[in-house]
C-alpha cells in the first residue's frame, strides 16, 4: 500500500515535471521564433531601453539571443540534455530578471520589454513576476523533467 502511494506520488511529480518542461519549452520557442521572424533591430531597440548596453552590443544581443531561446526551447521540448537545458533556461531567466529588476527600480520608461517580440508589453512588475513563474517551471523541469524525453528513451543526457 505504502509502495503504491510512493509510486503514484512519483508519477505525479514526473507528470508535473513533463508539463513544466513542455510549458517552458513552449515559452522559449515562441519567444525565440517571434523575434527571429522580425528585424533584429526591433529587438535591439527594446534592449537599448534597459540602458545597460550600447547600440552595438544591443544589436549583437538581438542577433544571438533569439537563436539561443529557440534552440534551448526545442531541445527542452524534445528532452535532449534536459537537465543542462533546464539549467540554461533558468540562467537566462535569472539574467532577464536582473535586467527587468534594475529597469523597474530605476523607473526606466520601458514601453516594450522585448520579452516576446517588440510589440507592446505588460508593466515591468508584471513581467518580473511572470518570469518568477517561468523560473519555477525551470526548476521543476530540472528536477523532474526527464519523463517522456529523448534522454529517458536513450538512457543518457546531462
Contact status: 45 vs another protein (CB under 8 A)? yes
In angstroms, give the least distance from the CB of 150 to another protein.
6
Angstrom distances, CA of residue 93 to CA of 14, 132, 133, 137: 23, 8, 10, 11
Give whichever of 59 and 128 is closer to another protein, judged by the CB atom.
Answer: 59
Closest approach, Cβ 45 to another protein, in A, equals 7
* Eight-class DSSP state of 54: -
Among 24, 25, 27, 34, binds another protein (CB under 8 A): 34
Residue whose CB is less far from another protein, 78 or 136: 78
Cell of 80: 535532449
Kindly tell me the burial class for residue 22, based on how many C-beta atoms sit within 10 Å of its own C-beta (0-12, 13-18, 19 or more): middle
Is residue 54 near another protein by the rule CB under 8 A? Answer: no
Asked if 155 is part of the footprint of another protein (rule: CB under 8 A), the reply reads yes
Question: Nearest distance from residue 35's CB to another protein, in Å?
Answer: 9
Residue 146 contacts residue 79 (beta carbons within 8 Å): yes
DSSP letter for 28, please: H
Joined grid coordinates for residue 79: 528532452
SS3 50: coil
**Taking the complex as a whole, how short is the minimal distance between the CB of residue 66 and another protein, in angstroms?**
9
Binding site residues, another protein, CB under 8 A: 33-34, 36-42, 45, 70-71, 74-75, 78, 80-81, 117, 119, 150-151, 154-158
Amino acid at each position: 500500500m505504502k509502495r503504491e502511494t510512493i509510486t503514484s506520488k512519483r508519477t505525479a511529480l514526473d507528470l508535473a515535471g513533463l508539463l513544466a518542461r513542455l510549458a517552458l519549452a513552449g515559452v522559449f520557442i515562441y519567444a525565440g521564433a517571434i523575434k527571429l521572424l522580425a528585424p533584429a533591430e526591433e529587438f535591439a531597440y527594446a534592449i537599448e531601453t534597459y540602458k545597460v548596453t550600447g547600440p552595438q552590443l544591443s544589436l549583437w544581443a538581438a542577433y544571438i539571443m533569439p537563436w539561443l531561446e529557440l534552440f534551448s526551447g526545442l531541445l527542452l521540448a524534445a528532452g535532449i540534455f534536459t537537465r543542462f537545458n533546464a539549467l540554461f533556461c533558468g540562467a537566462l531567466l535569472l539574467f532577464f530578471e536582473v535586467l527587468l529588476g534594475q529597469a523597474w527600480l530605476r523607473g526606466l520608461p520601458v514601453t516594450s520589454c522585448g520579452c516576446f517580440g517588440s510589440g507592446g508589453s505588460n508593466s515591468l512588475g508584471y513581467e518580473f513576476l511572470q518570469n518568477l513563474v517561468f523560473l519555477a517551471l525551470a526548476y521543476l523541469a530540472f528536477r523532474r523533467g526527464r519523463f517522456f524525453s529523448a534522454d529517458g528513451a536513450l538512457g543518457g543526457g546531462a
